[in-house]
Structure 1
């Protein structure tokens, strides 16, 4: 039997509700984006990501308002843009720090993460949200500050979540053989890519979703159902 030494987890739909991101975080960033860019647009970090967004869109030069509208459209499309995710993370930072919201986590997640860490497993996050946004998410969660439990974070700078090479790169960064890493996600295409890279996989199918009779990956209704 292969020993699991590290757990790599997705966020949306896995540790936390998709609706929190869609109904709270995305609208918050969309509404505050124009004022944020006007207020912080001359800082080097914001300038860098605005330039990266324009480059991604194939825009050589454009008024700032056009870039704002582009970013808002990408929010509506849930585009997996590293530049957009970085800017969203900066806006969410203000929201978390102001107490405008706390990040949702499913009831059993905190207890299970603490138990796995106590058992000596190393915990990592891989999400399309930027690494700073991930740290804010777990730092300001409804279950308190969970960041001390995690050994590292990965975002789309490691590569797209549906590509095998991304998981190979993460395994190398973690310093574990892929077969000793368990990747948890609710997206089967991500699990397919992780499995192709040699990782063990766990498919989270939370209610009202039902675990199929013959799932493509080991499937679980919640973290408590996961047997290592």
Structure 2
């Protein structure tokens, strides 16, 4: 691929810049351990309980009735995590919990070792970088701010979560290009999921799939596959 014509690199996080293992074995368990405390301390937070209760009515797999008690909300959120639901309110709550963990020093995010150098090259060549992940914008910023390589947030000009739409929907990528005031054909999107690559392609964006340690095998697809960012823009 001719990266020289690329104006902006759009990054997924899990399985792309950050190991899947970190998300599923560190971040998710940390939120699960702290849901009860969070709801006990934030019982008056407007909207949290109401939105979760409303959503629970459509969650046919969950057999318990969800109430606004900290225990009930906590158990329902644990269930949502176990099913890897991409629910906006859940991601927001997790982001709030992770913020406490990062700021206290309990959490430190893992980043693949080739990522900081690639971000440096993007910046030095005058190109742009942004993030699109199912995690909340706050959670995205925390991962890059409190990571083993130091604060990497200076390299990203914008962050997008599912408020723009689902990652397997072409219109989400069209909206991102519009918000960044850039033609889709000038964007390269890095992901580890072929369905996301397919959606980006429909929007005119060029996708590349990362084959990182721990990533899930993808079905047959026509997209370029790389193992790391070494050599890009070198």
TM-score between both structures, scaled by the size of structure 1: 0.91
Question: Counterparts in 2 of 1:202-213, with a 5 A limit?
Answer: 202-207=208-213
How far is 1:56 from its partner? 2.1
Residue equivalent to 2:54: 55
Corresponding position: 1:73 with 2:73: no
2:19·2:213 contact (CA, 8 Å) conserved in 1? no
Q: 2:146 aligns with which of 122, 127, 140?
A: 140
Residue equivalent to 2:62: none
Which structure 2 segments of 5+ residues have no match? 59-64
Report SS of the residue matched to 1:223.
Answer: coil
How far is 1:61 from its partner? 7.4
How far is 1:191 from its partner? 0.5
Residue equivalent to 2:193: 187
Cα distance in 1, alignment partners of residues 163 and 194 from structure 2: 21
C-alpha distance after superposition, 1:190-209 (max 9, x if no partner): 00100111001111012477
Residue equivalent to 2:102: 96
Question: Counterparts in 2 of 1:9-48, with a 5 A limit?
Answer: 9-43=11-45, 47-48=46-47
| Closer/same/farther in 2, CA of residues 192 and 185 from structure 1, 3 Å limit | same
| Closer/same/farther in 2, CA of residues 210 and 139 from structure 1, 3 Å limit | closer
Report SS of the residue matched to 2:151.
Answer: coil
Residue equivalent to 1:222: 228
2:118·2:232 contact (CA, 8 Å) conserved in 1? no
Report SS of the residue matched to 1:56.
Answer: helix
Report SS of the residue matched to 1:202.
Answer: strand
Equivalenced residue count is: 224
Q: Give RMSD over aligned pairs.
A: 2.3
1:130·1:155 contact (CA, 8 Å) conserved in 2? yes
Report SS of the residue matched to 1:92.
Answer: helix
How far is 1:52 from its partner? 2.0
2:10·2:129 contact (CA, 8 Å) conserved in 1? yes
Cα distance in 2, alignment partners of residues 35 and 105 from structure 1: 28
Corresponding position: 1:197 with 2:193: no
Corresponding position: 1:123 with 2:126: no
